[in-house]
Amino acid sequence: MQFLPKDVQDGLDAARKGALARKSRLRVELGGQVFPILKFWKDGFALDGALTTHLRGLVDVFDGARHEFQCLIVASRQEGDMLICDFKRATRVVESAALDYFRDENAPLAYLPRA
């Protein structure tokens, strides 16, 4: 195991977090605040722990300018310098309303009038 001076280790950690934030376009918006997502997996994500110490409730997840998910965060915990958020559900945002009937994929798109 290597031991580095504290200022060198802090610089390396800051560079690692900066690289993760630049690589990911994902971000969380909650109440007008924006937090970049460092890592994202199927039931949670990681944020920079220096930006916030606790996050809970319904949040919006964006990929660039595109609204991707609404997530319900049920728990958040500090692990090292990251805030790990676990969500109960992640609902994908869609542009159109849900259909309340079955649409047959072989149905005609339009009817031609009789000639």
**Domains in the chain, please, with CATH?**
6-92 (2.40.10.430)
Q: Tell me what the mean pLDDT of segment 88-97 comes to.
A: 84
The three-class DSSP label of residue 22 is: helix
Pull the structure tokens for residue 110.
Answer: 């339009």
Residue among 71, 82, 63, 23 at smallest CA distance from 44: 71
Over residues 31-75, the pLDDT tens digits come to 888 888 888 888 899 988 888 878 888 999 998 888 898 999 998
pTM of the complete model: 0.63
How many helices (H) and strands (E) the chain has is answered by 1, 6
pLDDT at 48: 84
Contacts of 30 (CB under 8 A, 6+ apart): 55, 57, 59, 60
Provide the greatest CA pair distance for the chain.
87
